[in-house]
Chains A and B, each alone.
Chain A
Amino acid sequence: MGGSFLSLLLGDTVTRLVFFPTLAAVPLLFMGKAKPIAVKLYALAVSLVEIGLMLAWTAAHWDAAGLVVKDPVLPWLEMPSLSIVYEVGIDGISLPLVLLTGLLLPVVVLGSWKGVDRHWTGFTTALLLLTTGILGALVALDLLVFYVFWEVMLIPMYLIIGIWGGERRIYAAVKFFLFTMAGSLLMLIGILWLGWTYGRLTGLWSFRYQDLLRLDLPVEQQLWLFGAFALAFAIKVPMFPFHTWLPDAHVEAPTGGSVILAGILLKLGTYGFLRFALPLFPHAADRLAPWLLGLAVIGIVYGALVAWVQPDMKKLVAYSSIAHLGFVMLGILACDLIAWQGALIQMVNHGLSTGALFLLVGMLYDRRHTKKFEDFGGIAKVVPWFAFFLVFSTLASVGLPALNGFVGEFLILVGAWRAGLHLLVAISTFGVVLAAIYLLHLLQKTIWGPLTREENRGLRDLDVREVLALLPLCVFMLWIGVAPKTFLEPSRPALEAVLADYRARLAQPAPAAPGLGASRNPAEAGRSFLVDLDAPDRGVQP
């Protein structure tokens, strides 16, 4: 595998996007003694190169009919009767998140500039490895490879929270680790079971997404497997009642960590639902959707309410994430094209606006080393630009029209309403009201009103670096809000294909015993990774 992998690494491939950060981390091993500033600049440069590579790649493979690009398939682990392949690709569903990851990377570096005060080499290494893990999980098309990347994310994040975090960082880090691990281990068993079933039917084990999609399983088996996957993803999202790791993780994590965590890590949960849990187990998903929808909506209201009464800015934003991702889950589970488009764009939106909010809180923390509301109030006078960005991001998060948040929520809710979930949509829409309550509460407590604390009188306003960190996010918030078409179109074909496939499979009843479904109509399915178009059929006969 080595040689061909190397050629992949050097070529203009998805693989390069995924592993460039890791390669870039290698020199850091020898920069232990380097000055922090050097390391910071190096990190910044690397992140810029990465986003550059991504943009170049996207531009190269862009195609009006959406894009489905796959690297050549390499064997990762071949055994007699069992094969795991290294198979990665990007389609309209993963593209936005991949680009978001790229966008956030430099932002995180800039945002951590001051907040991370020691071991910059370590921080950069962790960050880069984390990025590889995230990207890998986003592009993996072999479930076991996906699992590997999924787990690879854990250790760097654990270190980032635990080393550069706040007071109770270790508790938070371990909690984060255990929650995620608990879910993902069950998912591993589920994956293995799937591969084995496929092997029983075809004589050749496989964990390839496109192979496993052909499995038609009895409902009860689907229920168990879907349960295993859904648990892993629900913890990651996180959905109520698996969310309690999130506030702790966010409050303790350094700014950069929070941005990555909220920006992308959580999205992997929702992405997992969209990419794996639903398409693989349609009947179970359909059966369990009501419960999950219930949890999603509870999450929306619950997160909003709890956010409202938090004494700590970061915790408020953390709980707001729970509410926002509740919307995403609502959209995904509504199984409606518009809702799915909304869910996808909302993943990005949340990454942008919540990322910006965490950055801003972090900037305040860098200055005053506190995140408590009681230490602020009325600082708009002192730091107008900070106030401007805070108001802007908050409004985006509130879902104000012409900013990004609205687009996502609107599409999700329209779609879900169209799908007939009237009551749930009504409740969720009320969640929008609550969002206004707690987010304006945030503004009220921090920047408006009389200047309560003397020590805030001397607060510095944002400097160029901080503005540079925030600006890209805000630009996209506005852009997405004003002209969402640009961002919705690329994903639509893929979503359409997956949805059509999902509905088609749901249409026919689940079999009594596991079997191989009819292969799909390539023209339709070719717009996502639903069938194997290019890779040679590796001798799989039922």
Chain B
Amino acid sequence: MRPLDLLWLIPALPFAGAAVNGLLLRNRHKPLVTAIGVGAPGLSLVLALAALWDYVANLRPQPFEQFLYAWTTGSLAIDVAFRVDPLSAVMLFVVTFVGFWIHVYSVGYMGHDPGYRRFFAYMNLFMGAMLLLVLGNNLLVMFVGWEGVGLCSYLLIGYYFEEAFPPFAGKKAFVVNRIGDFAFLLGIFTLFSEYGTLHFGQLTERILADPGAAQRPFLLGLSLAGFTALCFFIGATGKSAQIPLFVWLPDAMAGPTPVSALIHAATMVTAGVYMVVRTNVLYQMAPEISTLVAVIGAATAIVAATIGLAQNDIKKVLAYSTVSQLGYMFLAAGVGAYVAAIFHLATHAFFKACLFLGSGSVIHAMGGEQDMRKMGGLKKQLPATYRTFWISTLAIAGIPPLAGFFSKDEILAGTFAHPGALYRVLWVVGLLTAGLTACYMFRAVYLTFEGKFRGSHEQAHHLHESPRVMTVPLVVLATGAVVAGWIGIPKGVWETFGAHDRNLLHHFLAPVVAEVHGAGAEHGMSHLVEWLLMAASVAIALAGIGIARSQWKRRGLEADAAFAARTPVVQRLLENKYWVDEIYDRLVVRPLAALARGCWKIVDTLIIDGGLHVGAFVTELTGDLGRFTTTGNVRQYALYFLGGVVLLFWWMVL
């Protein structure tokens, strides 16, 4: 039997791990817990690698499908089945690889936490769900994973449930995600009722078979494809924290740092991108929605970047940077550069995970302190952390030849290449964002590692480099942050040097993003333009770094103060994240609660029950008045008799 046949084990193992850790073991079995908690994802990683090798070597580009069992039959026939094709292959690798190393890291980071076992149970559960999401061969299995990771996100954000805020943040995350899922579901319903299947392959075939049908007007003045695409995209904005649903991600930092690294940077939040690329056929058929995607992506990117500039909590900075980077990915998807989107997804997974873990190691050293204003000059005490963090920062800033550069540049190129003035604007936005990214990321670096220590004494004494089990993953991921980009070196580069195109990723993913009708990504661009674009992005990145260096390297906090002094309005605006949370609270949450109370107190209690009670009272009253006709005086009774007789007689002769 071949490695691919064990595909089902890849998600099954983490689930099993979660079950064992969560239900069977006790806290005292710590070594066993560790063995299972890390072993399960480790084993899946091995299996995944084997399966991938098998796939790439033997099957590519045909998808490999593994049927497990029928979920439902009859007119709604849905199987529980897995699918390995280039797209899921990439995701599979990213998820298992990054996931495994984060698990390793957690052994150290959560080592002293009383909820160690629970933590690993949740993490494994998450791995399982995420793999389900990635491997599912139809929308339903995908949705199951989709909600599953949402659940784990809820549980892990609220991991410190004894404090007040984390559970709340978890709830917020879950609910906001649900709002997205609501649209996702509608999309699924539409596809099913129109095409009678949820299987990715069949869907693509049937849609392509009759493009006219997909483009006929459906709902909300959109075409069928357009409506579905919109639904899916709204779903994606929830999961991937795009405008307008990004508000949950920053709060999600209430969870342990490895969680932020795994779920809220590397894997789960990128599910939206994965989904959009997965269903790219629809988007290719609905240019208007694609445009929307691009605009939302770009807007999110820049908004988040600006906010990130004014945050003092190191994890908040990373959170907003994540939002911003996700924006990039959607920009890419929106302009039809699906490969670029996945490319950036992969590279981002490495360097952002590395950054988060780095920040984790800092926080670890600082004894739980997350405020950069209390840090500074840590590079001496935390050399390994510092170096890896620095490398990843370079990567995210987009400095060649690190991973971030290639992916980001490809996105910008794709945007630039897309016909239409709007896309030029988007390109500029993307470029600016690149600069801002470089700027705020290096601000973080400088505030954390440069300058002199601003924390308390005991913190100063407590400072130490993290143990091996934590630094090794940092190194591994940092390496990834360096090399990951090389699988996608643009065609132009190769050709300029006379080599033939070795853009592996493109060739690999080509079958998945087969174009419906030429909305070409980086086509029709001379190499010169390509080089110029690269130069531009590098330049702006360097500029950003320069500014950051000039501002924060030495002056540290004064720079912030000065900035605040200069433009107080902007400062407040950014510090308060444009008051988005407050606005939502005023516009949505409170009115809803008021409505609910109204329904309860007024409709239920007052109108319905009140009406009934009045009715009952009236009935009682009638009886109570009527009974007084029985006066106890027999003469009255005789009178009634006589009256009755007379009336009846009168009525009869009438």
Decide if B71 touches A244 in the complex (CB within 8 Å): no
Give chain B's interface residue range (CB within 8 Å of chain A): 35 or more
Residues of the A chain whose Cβ atoms lie less than 8 Å from the Cβ of B69: 483, 485
> Which residues of A (371-412) have their CB < 8 Å from a CB of B?
378, 380-381, 395, 400-402, 406, 410-411
Residues of the A chain whose Cβ atoms lie less than 8 Å from the Cβ of B162: 378, 381, 449-451
Residues of the A chain whose Cβ atoms lie less than 8 Å from the Cβ of B167: 443-444, 448-449
Residues of the B chain whose Cβ atoms lie less than 8 Å from the Cβ of A483: 69, 71
Decide if A380 touches B175 in the complex (CB within 8 Å): no
Asked if B593 lies at the interface with its beta carbon under 8 angstroms from chain A, I say: yes
The stretch among A96-104, A131-139, A284-292, A427-435 that forms the contact with chain B is: A427-435
Nearest-CB residue, chain A, relative to B593: A309
Taking a contact as CB atoms closer than 8 A, the residue among B74, B147, B190, B603 that contacts A492 in the complex is B74
Taking a contact as CB atoms closer than 8 A, the residue among B75, B161, B164 that contacts A338 in the complex is B75
Given contacts A411-B76, A444-B171, contact A432 B178 (CB under 8 A): yes
A449 vs B154: C-alpha distance when bound (angstroms): 14
Asked if A116 lies at the interface with its beta carbon under 8 angstroms from chain B, I say: no
Asked if B185 lies at the interface with its beta carbon under 8 angstroms from chain A, I say: yes
Given contacts A241-B608, A418-B189, contact A433 B596 (CB under 8 A): no
Decide if B72 touches A309 in the complex (CB within 8 Å): no
Residues of the A chain whose Cβ atoms lie less than 8 Å from the Cβ of B140: 410
Given contacts A306-B604, A417-B193, A432-B178, contact A400 B147 (CB under 8 A): yes
Taking a contact as CB atoms closer than 8 A, the residue among B74, B158, B185, B596 that contacts A488 in the complex is B74
A394 vs B592: C-alpha distance when bound (angstroms): 22
Nearest-CB residue, chain A, relative to B190: A417
A55 vs B115: C-alpha distance when bound (angstroms): 42
Decide if A380 touches B161 in the complex (CB within 8 Å): yes
Asked if A183 lies at the interface with its beta carbon under 8 angstroms from chain B, I say: no
Nearest-CB residue, chain B, relative to A488: B72
Give chain A's interface residue range (CB within 8 Å of chain B): 35 or more
Asked if A426 lies at the interface with its beta carbon under 8 angstroms from chain B, I say: yes
Decide if A338 touches B182 in the complex (CB within 8 Å): no
Given contacts A308-B596, A401-B144, A437-B175, contact A429 B73 (CB under 8 A): no
Query: Could you say which of A425, A433, A451 has the most chain B C-beta atoms within 10 Å of its C-beta?
Result: A433
Nearest-CB residue, chain B, relative to A241: B608
A310 vs B605: C-alpha distance when bound (angstroms): 13
Query: Could you say which of A410, A414, A485 has the most chain B C-beta atoms within 10 Å of its C-beta?
Result: A414
Given contacts A241-B608, A449-B167, contact A337 B71 (CB under 8 A): no
Decide if B76 touches A244 in the complex (CB within 8 Å): no
Decide if B72 touches A429 in the complex (CB within 8 Å): no
In the assembled complex, how far is the CB of residue A249 from the closest CB belonging to chain B, in whole angstroms?
13
A484 vs B162: C-alpha distance when bound (angstroms): 36
Residues of the A chain whose Cβ atoms lie less than 8 Å from the Cβ of B582: none
Decide if A484 touches B593 in the complex (CB within 8 Å): no
Nearest-CB residue, chain A, relative to B616: A178
Nearest-CB residue, chain B, relative to A441: B171
Residues of the A chain whose Cβ atoms lie less than 8 Å from the Cβ of B70: 485
Taking a contact as CB atoms closer than 8 A, the residue among A244, A302, A422, A492 that contacts B609 in the complex is A244
Residues of the A chain whose Cβ atoms lie less than 8 Å from the Cβ of B624: none
Decide if B163 touches A450 in the complex (CB within 8 Å): yes
Decide if A433 touches B178 in the complex (CB within 8 Å): yes
Asked if A436 lies at the interface with its beta carbon under 8 angstroms from chain B, I say: yes
Decide if A433 touches B593 in the complex (CB within 8 Å): no
> Which residues of A (422-476) have their CB < 8 Å from a CB of B?
422, 425-426, 429-430, 432-433, 436-437, 440-441, 443-444, 447-451
Asked if B151 lies at the interface with its beta carbon under 8 angstroms from chain A, I say: yes
A372 vs B544: C-alpha distance when bound (angstroms): 55
In the assembled complex, how far is the CB of residue A81 from the closest CB belonging to chain B, in whole angstroms?
33
> Which residues of B (157-208) have their CB < 8 Å from a CB of A?
158, 161-164, 167-168, 171, 174-175, 178-179, 181-182, 185-186, 188-190, 192-193
A261 vs B231: C-alpha distance when bound (angstroms): 38
A237 vs B544: C-alpha distance when bound (angstroms): 64
Asked if A305 lies at the interface with its beta carbon under 8 angstroms from chain B, I say: yes
Give 1 or 0 for each of B617-648: 1 = CB within 8 Å of chain A CB: 00000000000000000000000000000000
Decide if A485 touches B71 in the complex (CB within 8 Å): yes
Decide if B595 touches A305 in the complex (CB within 8 Å): yes
In the assembled complex, how far is the CB of residue B80 from the closest CB belonging to chain A, in whole angstroms?
8
Decide if A433 touches B182 in the complex (CB within 8 Å): yes
Residues of the B chain whose Cβ atoms lie less than 8 Å from the Cβ of A426: 186
Give 1 or 0 for each of B60-73: 1 = CB within 8 Å of chain A CB: 00000000011111
A441 vs B589: C-alpha distance when bound (angstroms): 13
Residues of the A chain whose Cβ atoms lie less than 8 Å from the Cβ of B587: none
Give 1 or 0 for each of B587-605: 1 = CB within 8 Å of chain A CB: 0000011011101100110
In the assembled complex, how far is the CB of residue A387 from the closest CB belonging to chain B, in whole angstroms?
9
Residues of the B chain whose Cβ atoms lie less than 8 Å from the Cβ of A429: 182, 185-186
Residues of the B chain whose Cβ atoms lie less than 8 Å from the Cβ of A433: 175, 178-179, 181-182
A338 vs B179: C-alpha distance when bound (angstroms): 24
Asked if A341 lies at the interface with its beta carbon under 8 angstroms from chain B, I say: yes
Asked if B525 lies at the interface with its beta carbon under 8 angstroms from chain A, I say: no
Asked if B143 lies at the interface with its beta carbon under 8 angstroms from chain A, I say: yes
Taking a contact as CB atoms closer than 8 A, the residue among B73, B151, B603 that contacts A489 in the complex is B73
In the assembled complex, how far is the CB of residue A441 from the closest CB belonging to chain B, in whole angstroms?
8
Decide if B76 touches A414 in the complex (CB within 8 Å): yes
In the assembled complex, how far is the CB of residue A359 from the closest CB belonging to chain B, in whole angstroms?
19
A488 vs B181: C-alpha distance when bound (angstroms): 25
Nearest-CB residue, chain B, relative to A309: B596
Asked if B219 lies at the interface with its beta carbon under 8 angstroms from chain A, I say: yes
A441 vs B168: C-alpha distance when bound (angstroms): 9
> Which residues of A (219-248) have their CB < 8 Å from a CB of B?
241, 244, 247
Give 1 or 0 for each of B135-164: 1 = CB within 8 Å of chain A CB: 000001001101110010010001001111
In the assembled complex, how far is the CB of residue B576 from the closest CB belonging to chain A, in whole angstroms?
25
A47 vs B603: C-alpha distance when bound (angstroms): 41
Nearest-CB residue, chain A, relative to B73: A485
Asked if B612 lies at the interface with its beta carbon under 8 angstroms from chain A, I say: yes
Residues of the A chain whose Cβ atoms lie less than 8 Å from the Cβ of B178: 432-433, 436
Asked if A413 lies at the interface with its beta carbon under 8 angstroms from chain B, I say: yes
Decide if A341 touches B189 in the complex (CB within 8 Å): no
Decide if B147 touches A401 in the complex (CB within 8 Å): yes
In the assembled complex, how far is the CB of residue A395 from the closest CB belonging to chain B, in whole angstroms?
7
Taking a contact as CB atoms closer than 8 A, the residue among A305, A341, A402, A485 that contacts B596 in the complex is A305
A78 vs B76: C-alpha distance when bound (angstroms): 46
Nearest-CB residue, chain B, relative to A384: B118
Residues of the B chain whose Cβ atoms lie less than 8 Å from the Cβ of A244: 604, 608-609, 612
Residues of the B chain whose Cβ atoms lie less than 8 Å from the Cβ of A247: 604
Residues of the A chain whose Cβ atoms lie less than 8 Å from the Cβ of B596: 305-306, 308-309
A413 vs B143: C-alpha distance when bound (angstroms): 15
In the assembled complex, how far is the CB of residue A504 from the closest CB belonging to chain B, in whole angstroms?
18
Taking a contact as CB atoms closer than 8 A, the residue among B76, B148, B182 that contacts A432 in the complex is B182
A302 vs B599: C-alpha distance when bound (angstroms): 7
Given contacts A414-B76, A433-B179, contact A450 B595 (CB under 8 A): no
Decide if B174 touches A440 in the complex (CB within 8 Å): yes
In the assembled complex, how far is the CB of residue A314 from the closest CB belonging to chain B, in whole angstroms?
15
Query: Could you say which of A308, A380, A425 has the most chain B C-beta atoms within 10 Å of its C-beta?
Result: A308
Decide if A395 touches B163 in the complex (CB within 8 Å): no
Residues of the B chain whose Cβ atoms lie less than 8 Å from the Cβ of A306: 596, 599-600, 604
Residues of the B chain whose Cβ atoms lie less than 8 Å from the Cβ of A381: 161-162
Query: Could you say which of A401, A429, A448 has the most chain B C-beta atoms within 10 Å of its C-beta?
Result: A401
Decide if A418 touches B164 in the complex (CB within 8 Å): no
Give 1 or 0 for each of A328-339: 1 = CB within 8 Å of chain B CB: 000000000110
* 5 CB-based A-B contacts, threshold 8 Å: A381-B162, A411-B76, A443-B167, A449-B163, A488-B72
Given contacts A414-B193, A444-B168, A448-B167, 9 further A-B contacts (CB under 8 A): A306-B596, A308-B593, A402-B147, A413-B185, A417-B193, A418-B189, A437-B175, A440-B154, A443-B171
- The list of the 7 closest CB pairs from A to B, nearest first, reads A448-B167, A417-B189, A305-B596, A418-B193, A401-B144, A309-B596, A436-B178
A binding-site residues for B, Cβ under 8 Å:
241, 244, 247, 302, 305-306, 308-310, 337-338, 341, 378, 380-381, 395, 400-402, 406, 410-411, 413-415, 417-418, 422, 425-426, 429-430, 432-433, 436-437, 440-441, 443-444, 447-451, 483-485, 488-489, 492
